[in-house]
Amino acid sequence: MFCIVLKFVLCLYRENILTMTTIIKTNDLTFHFHGKQNAVNELNLSVPEGSIYGFLGPNGAGKSTTIRMLAGLLRPASGSIEMFDKSFKKAKSAILRRSAYMIEEPTLYKHLTGRQNIELICKSGGYDAKRIDEVLDWVHLSDDKNRKAGNYSMGMKQRLGIAGALLPDPDLFVLDEPTNGLDPQGMYEIRELIVDLNKKYGKTIFISSHLLGEIEKMCTHVGIIHHGKGIFEGSIQELADVNKSVKLFRIETLQMEKANEVLSAFENLKKVDENTLEVQPKDKEQQYQIIASLVNAGVEFTQAYEVKNSLEELFIQVTEN
Ligand X SMILES: Nc1ncnc2c1ncn2[C@@H]1O[C@H](COP(=O)(O)OP(=O)(O)O)[C@@H](O)[C@H]1O
Instruction: Report the interface residues with ligand X, using CB under 6 A.
Output: 33, 36, 39, 57, 59-65
Closer by beta carbon to ligand X, 144 or else 233: 233
- Is 25 or 63 the residue whose CB approaches ligand X more closely? 63
**Which CB sits closer to ligand X, 76 or 168?**
76
Q: Which does 76 bind (CB under 5 to 8 A by kind): Mg ion, ligand X, none?
A: none
When the beta carbons of 202 and 213 are compared against ligand X, the nearer one is 213
**Rounded-to-integer distance, Cα 162 and Cα 197, Å:** 11
Could you say which of Mg ion, ligand X, none residue 65 binds, taking C-beta under 5 to 8 angstroms by partner kind? ligand X
Q: How far is the CB of 41 from ligand X (least distance, A)?
A: 10
Cα–Cα distance, 238 to 90 (Å, whole number): 34
Identify what 60 binds: ligand X, Mg ion, none; CB under 5 to 8 Å per kind.
Answer: ligand X
Residue 312: CB minimum distance to ligand X, A: 20
Query: HEC states along the chain?
Result: CHHHHHHHHHHHHHCCCCCCCEEEEEEEEEEECCCCCEEEEEECCEEECCCEEEEECCCCCCHHHHHHHHCCCCCCCEEEEEECCEECCCCHHHHHHCEEEECCCCCCCCCCEHHHHHHHHHHHHCCCCCHHHHHHHHCCCHHHCCCEHHHCCHHHHHHHHHHHHHCCCCCEEEEECCCCCCCHHHHHHHHHHHHHHHHCCCCEEEEEECCHHHHHHHCCEEEEEECCEEEEEEEHHHHHHHHHCCCEEEEEECCHHHHHHHHCCCCCCEEEECCEEEECCCCHHHHHHHHHHHHHCCCCEEEEEEECCHHHHHHHHHHHC
Using CB under 5 A, list all residues that contact Mg ion.
63-64
**In the complex, what is the shortest distance from the CB of residue 64 to Mg ion, in angstroms, rounded to a whole number?**
3
Q: Cβ closer to ligand X: 57 or 155?
A: 57
Q: State the minimum distance, in angstroms, from the CB of residue 68 to ligand X.
A: 8
| Minimum distance, C-beta of residue 179 to Mg ion, in the bound complex (Å) | 12
Please identify, using beta-carbon distances, which residue of 65 and 113 lies nearer to ligand X: 65
Residue 39 binds which entry of ligand X, Mg ion, none, with Cβ cut-offs from 5 to 8 Å by kind? ligand X
36 or 130: whose CB is closer to ligand X? 36
36 interacts with, out of ligand X, Mg ion, none, CB within 5 to 8 A per kind: ligand X
Minimum CB separation of residue 259 from Mg ion in Å reads 48
The residue whose Cβ lies closest to Mg ion is 64
Could you tell which of ligand X, Mg ion, none binds residue 168, using a CB distance below 5 to 8 A set by kind? none
Closest distance between Mg ion and the C-beta of residue 210, in Å?
Answer: 8
Report the partner that residue 59 touches, choosing among Mg ion, ligand X, none (CB closer than 5 to 8 A by kind): ligand X
CA angle, 198 then 200 then 203, to 5°? 35
Alpha-carbon distance of 206 to 57, in angstroms, equals 14
Taking the complex as a whole, how short is the minimal distance between the CB of residue 287 and ligand X, in angstroms?
35
Nearer to ligand X, 62 or 114 (CB): 62
